[in-house]
Chains A and B, each alone.
Chain A
Amino acid sequence: MSENPDNQSTSELSLALVGSGGAGVMTAGQTLLDAAAASDYYGLMTRATGPQIRGGEAAAILRLSARPVECQDDRLDLLVAIDWNKAERFADELIVDDNSLVVADPGQGEVPAWITDSGARLVEVPFDALTREFRGARTNTIAVGLVAQLIGLEGRDVDATVRRILESKGAKLIEAALAGLELGRTAAADLAGPKRLERRPEPVEPRWLITGNEAAGLGAVRGGVRFCAAYPITPSTEIQEWLAAHLPELGGSLVQAEDELASINMCLGASFGGTPAITATSGPGFSLMVEALGLATQAEIPVVVVDVMRGGPSTGIPTRSEQSDLDIAVHGAHGDAPRLVLAPNSIGDCVTTTQWAVHLAEALQSPAVVLSDQRLGQARAAIAPPPSRDWHAQRKLAGNDTADYRRFTDAEDGVSPMALPGMPGGEYTATGLSHMESARPSASGMDHRRQLDKRRRKFAQFDFGKHWADIDGDGDLWVLTWGSTTLPAREAVARMRDRGHAIGLISIRLLSPLDTEALTEALRSCRRLLVVEQSHGGQFHRYLRSHIELPADTHLLARPGPLNITPGDIVSGLEELTLEDAA
């Protein structure tokens, strides 16, 4: 936070770099994040890009802090523009004010109105001209040198990070990059920065640099996933790529499928054979998987689908976040087909929740959907390592005594022991048809009802424990949210507490089956509630209301993407709620 912008020394600051045409702002941003991490800071980098594959306008947004941080601030302390080409696209999210410093190349376009009108202090640095000082120097490394100098990152950490990133590119390039850093530092020497990061924080070891998508991949293999089939789709592809690189090291395999119909069915085939399987996709691909998810429910085949949500419907906004797939994740099926739906609520939690999803899918022989989104998936952060959990794929299997084996036996806990190909005596035909306990197809109402009851029972009787939600705080004022909007909600709650409000936060991790009893209990003391979600139609709010009675004084902060909901937005929502109450 930036409560006291006059103070030149701070434990935390926010900055952004913009540039286009291959200026390399993403690399510059990652260099700064990694260098800050090497200097024992926590940090986060998110990205905003235009629609072009190459040469598009781009913004790397960073927040660096002495304490764990996974959410961007409402405003920037520092904005560096290598050029201004189409930068207005980012006017809504790169918020500067009279406490901000904007550094821009005077030769690279007119300063946009949203900057000149903001009252921010503007200084000019001729990045492009400076590249002529050293053959091969690039504007983005000059910008990194400048920013590092302005905010007080240690030179040796920045140099080492640049060396590491360029390791494979050869000595010449490294030399040019180091020279660029130096040019940037020199250019910054005469400038007064907005703030400097105060002394190096106490080292916290180890910390990880990881994206949400990598984290989901790691959670999958931690849970025991050894098969993935997937079809590339933004913004989920990095999960697939991470698994392609790492499954082979764990004896697993990955298939790039011809489409999402194939990828989900390949996963079901692998899981039918006993191999825990996952696929990753986004809205359009998820839509194609819905039929097969119904099959997974009917045939009781465990499978995990990570839906890294983006703006919808249809192709929507592929590169930006939205929480608008909740409806399809929970209800997207024909027939009565309850399924597991989980949502990670931080980058680190992408590991934990995906791991849990694998565990639950396997234990309950059910499809599980993990609703991540672009905000979590494509952000890179320096974080404390996620806790290690004892959640593994443990399927209830048919024993050796397979005499009169019935695949869908009406088990008391609803979970029928599963035979796997290779087990003599367990042979059965899995089917999407309604069936008897023996797996034999049946159109009898009694068989249909018995299997529906059994499948519902396995959810009702399973002990999901306390992980269904993260609950923090007490009092009569609460925020209720899920998924990535938990990030700004946590920060908003912290700000409200700093102002003396007693306030609680519930972030629901297990969306389906919803633990209505525990949720009602958690909201027992709540009189005023703010429901926060990134969807236009208030899908989460409607879902909650379909299950429990919310307090009469419930407000809804529901907004579609692509602009992320900020801590400030939520604080405003809470202020409205409290003011209204006071009036």
Chain B
Amino acid sequence: MNSAVEQQIRILGHKDFKSDYKPVWCAGCGDFGVLNALTKAMAALELSPENVAMIAGIGCSSRIPAYTTVYGFHGVHGRALPLAAGLAVSRPDLTVIATGGDGDGFSIGGNHFLHACRRNVNMTYLVMDNSVYGMTKGQASPTTECDWTGSKLSPQGTHQPPLQPLELALAARAPFIARAFSNSPNELARIMTEAIAFEGFAFVQILSPCITFRPEQLGWKKRVHDGFEPTDDRAAAFAALAEDEGFTTGILYRAPRPRFAPDRREPVDIGAIEKRFEVRS
């Protein structure tokens, strides 16, 4: 990686962010596109691997940290956001990126999603949404269509309308909300770059087809279209979502607001704190 050309075109450095672990993902999985885009985004931002931490829960997409060369934490199911928040609050010098799938983020971890949006800790949350649980053999997830009968666990469909992650994020006051598509890795890299650079909680829903359990999602390619224009007006963002059928991409909402910051006080030493316990007569 030393030729003049390689120094001039910085995204050639994206390979520095890819580990030599072979992903366990199925051939053709949309998550390969996400990994590709993510490494490009990190190269474009000129991050150093040691200063980035990728935090994930459980699921196909949650395996992504180990496929990069940055610090990673592959925790328990649904808890990527709290892990990431603890790290980001205590280590504001790091770039913290939480990742996971629709089951991890919107089902078992759904409560954390709402509060991460509200709390607005400086971090990025990338959800690879394929509307299915891949690692347990293809059950319906919160974003699965109500009439999908492809799972033995809900052979007659879920009878529940799919959750709308962008609407939730907007309602819960996330200051940066976007949607992108794994098959357009360069555009995805652009949105990721903006999300990572954003000062605060940045949420990106990434449509990432599951070739194994939802092969019909390969047809998303034809349905996905750009169309969101970044706005800082909540009403305009809600209006855009009212028109959206789930396949509009782009940055929907970008409205910086004060980030979560821990309380700060005049520093004192522990001796002074202990003195306050002393009996005064």
Q: Determine whether the beta carbon of B115 is less than 8 Å from that of A269.
A: no
Are B279's CB and A261's CB within 8 A? no
Q: Does B200 count as interface, using CB distance less than 8 angstroms?
A: no
Closest to B85 in A: A266
> In the complex, what's the smallest C-beta–C-beta distance from B111 to chain A, in angstroms?
6
Which residues on B sit within 8 Å (CB–CB) of A430? 72-75
Cα-based distance from A295 to B80 in the complex (angstroms): 12
> In this assembly, does B70 line the interface, its C-beta being within 8 Å of a C-beta of chain A?
yes
The answer to whether A38 touches B89 (Cβ under 8 A) is: no
Chain B residues closer than 8 Å to A262, beta-carbon distance? 79, 81-82, 85, 111-112, 115
> Shortest CB–CB separation between residue A252 and chain B, in angstroms?
8
Considering the complex, which residues of chain A in the window 293-323 have a beta carbon less than 8 Å from any beta carbon of chain B? 294-295, 299
Interface check B235, CB cutoff 8 A? no
Mark out the residues of chain A between 222 and 269 whose CB falls within 8 Å of any chain B CB in the assembled complex: 222, 226-227, 229, 244, 246-255, 257-259, 261-263, 265-269
Once the chains bind, are A433 and B279 in contact (CB under 8 Å)? no
Q: Does B53 lie at the interface of the complex (its beta carbon under 8 Å from any beta carbon of A)?
A: yes
Complex interface: chain B residues within 8 A of A424 (CB) = 48-50
Q: Assess whether A421 is in contact with B91, with CB atoms less than 8 Å apart.
A: yes
Collect the chain B residues with CB atoms within 8 Å of residue A207's CB. 278-279
Q: Which residues of B contact A439 (CB under 8 A)?
A: 66
Residues 415-444 of chain A, each 1 if its beta carbon lies under 8 Å from chain B, else 0: 000010111111111111100000111000
- B112 contact set on A, CB distance < 8 A: 258, 261-262
Known: A266-B86, A425-B50, A441-B66. 4 other contacts (CB 8 A): A164-B280, A208-B279, A262-B79, A273-B90
**B267 within 8 Å of A by Cβ?**
yes
Given contacts A250-B270, A422-B93, contact A292 B87 (CB under 8 A): no
Chosen A-B contacts, 18 in total, with CB atoms closer than 8 Å, are: A37-B279, A226-B90, A229-B82, A244-B263, A249-B265, A250-B268, A258-B112, A261-B112, A266-B83, A270-B86, A272-B83, A272-B87, A275-B91, A295-B75, A421-B53, A425-B50, A430-B73, A431-B74
Q: Tell me what chain B mostly uses at the interface: helix, strand, loop, or mixed.
A: mixed
User: Does A45 sit at the interface, judged by CB under 8 A?
Assistant: no
How many angstroms between the C-alpha atoms of A17 and B184 in the bound complex? 73
A222 CA to B71 CA, complexed, in Å: 29
A545 to chain B, nearest CB (A): 33
A-B pairs with lowest CB-CB distance, top 3: A269-B86, A253-B262, A429-B72
With a cutoff of 8 Å between Cβ atoms, the chain A residues found around residue B140 in the complex are none
Whether B274 pairs with A385 at a CB distance below 8 angstroms is: yes
Known: A262-B79, A269-B82, A292-B76. A248 touches B265 (CB 8 A): yes
Q: Give me the interface of A with B, judged by CB distance under 8 Å.
A: 34, 37-40, 157, 160, 164, 206-210, 214, 218, 221-222, 226-227, 229, 244, 246-255, 257-259, 261-263, 265-275, 277, 291-292, 294-295, 299, 382, 385, 419, 421-433, 439-441
Give the Cβ gap from B79 to chain A, nearest Cβ, in Å.
4
Out of B73, B267, B279, B281, which one reaches A249, CB within 8 Å?
B267
Contacts of A40 in B (CB 8 A): 281
Query: Considering the chains assembled together, what is the distance between the CA atoms of A292 and B112 in angstroms?
Result: 15
Per-residue interface assignment for chain B, residues 200 to 225, with 1 indicating a CB less than 8 Å from any chain A CB and 0 otherwise: 00000000000000000000000000
Query: From DSSP, what is the main secondary structure of chain A's interface residues?
Result: mixed
- Cα separation A261 to B82 with both chains bound (whole Å): 8
Taking the closest CB of chain B, its distance from the CB of A416, in whole angstroms, is: 16
A206 partner residues in chain B, CB cutoff 8 A: 278-279
- Asked if B156 is an interface residue, CB under 8 A from chain A, the answer is no
A27 CA to B129 CA, complexed, in Å:
56
In the complex the two chains form, is A269's CB within 8 Å of B274's CB?
Answer: no
Instruction: Tell me which residues from 55 to 71 in chain B have a Cβ below 8 Å from any Cβ of chain A.
Output: 55, 65-66, 69-71
Neighbouring B residues of A227 by C-beta, 8 Å: 86, 89-90
CA distance A292 to B83 in the complex (A): 10
How far apart sit A265 and B98, CA to CA, in the bound complex (Å)? 13
Task: State whether A258 and B111 are in contact (beta carbons under 8 Å apart), knowing that A221-B273, A248-B265, A250-B270 are contacts in the complex.
Answer: yes
Residues of B contacting A248 in the complex (Cβ-Cβ under 8 angstroms): 262-265
Contact: B53 with A273, CB < 8 Å? yes
What sequence of 0s and 1s flags, for each residue 19-35 of chain B, a beta carbon within 8 Å of any chain A beta carbon? Answer: 00100000000000000
Per-residue interface assignment for chain B, residues 107 to 136, with 1 indicating a CB less than 8 Å from any chain A CB and 0 otherwise: 000011011000100000000000000000
**B94 interface residue (CB < 8 Å to A):** yes
Chain A nearest CB from B262 CB (Å) reads: 3
Residues of A within 8 Å of B94, CB to CB, are 273, 421-422
A268-B75 in contact (CB<8A): yes
Closest to B63 in A: A441
Chain B residues positioned under 8 Å from A382 (CB to CB): 279
B154 at interface (Cβ–Cβ under 8 A)?
A: no
* Interface check B51, CB cutoff 8 A: yes
What residues of chain A lie closer than 8 Å to B70, measured between beta carbons? 427
Q: Would B75 and A270 count as touching, CB distance under 8 A?
A: no
- Closest residue of chain B to A36, judged by CB? B279
Q: Interface readout for B230-271 with A: 1 if CB under 8 Å, 0 if not? A: 000000000000000000000000000000101111111010
Nearest CB on B from A435, distance (A): 10
Residues of A contacting B53 with CB < 8 Å? 272-273, 421
Task: Tell whether A427 pairs with B279 under 8 Å between CB atoms, given A259-B111, A270-B90.
Answer: no
- Could you tell me if A265 and B75 are in contact, using CB atoms closer than 8 angstroms? yes
Distance (Å) between the CB of A315 and the closest chain B CB? Answer: 20
The residue among A38, A270, A273, A299 with the most chain B CB atoms within 10 A of its own CB is A273
Quote the shortest CB–CB distance from B274 to chain A (angstroms): 7
Shortest CB-to-CB span from B134 to chain A, Å, is 16
CB atoms of A208 and B82 under 8 A apart: no
Question: Could you tell me if B274 and A431 are in contact, using CB atoms closer than 8 angstroms?
Answer: no
How far apart are A583's CB and chain B's nearest CB, in angstroms? 49
Whether the pair B74, A427 counts as a contact (CB closer than 8 A) is no
A426 to B53, CA, bound (A): 12
Q: How far is the CA of A209 from the CA of B276 in the complex (A)?
A: 9
Pairwise interchain contact B279-A251, C-beta atoms closer than 8 A: no
In the assembled complex, the CB of A250 is this many whole angstroms from the nearest CB of chain B, namely: 7
B280 to chain A, nearest CB (A): 7
Q: Which residue in B71, B81, B111, B115 is a CB contact (below 8 Å) of A429?
A: B71
Whether B267 lies near A250 (C-beta < 8 A) is yes
Q: Which of chain A's residues has its CB closest to B95's CB? A: A421
CB-nearest residue of chain B to A38: B281
Q: How near does chain B come to A168, taking the closest CB pair, in angstroms?
A: 16
Complex alpha-carbon distance, A259 and B278, angstroms: 35
A38 touches B279 (CB 8 A): yes
Residue of B nearest to A242 (CB): B273
* Cα–Cα distance between A50 and B71 once the two chains are bound (Å): 50
- Whether A422 lies near B87 (C-beta < 8 A) is no
For the complex formed, measure the closest distance between the CB of B197 and the CB atoms of chain A, giving whole angstroms: 19
Per-residue contact bits, chain B 33-59, to A (CB 8 Å; 1 contact, 0 not): 000000000000000111111110000
Tell me, yes or no, whether B170 is within 8 Å of chain A by CB: no
Cβ-defined contact, B91 with A268, below 8 A: no
Is B73 within 8 A of A261, CB to CB? Answer: no
Contact B86 A255 (CB under 8 A): yes
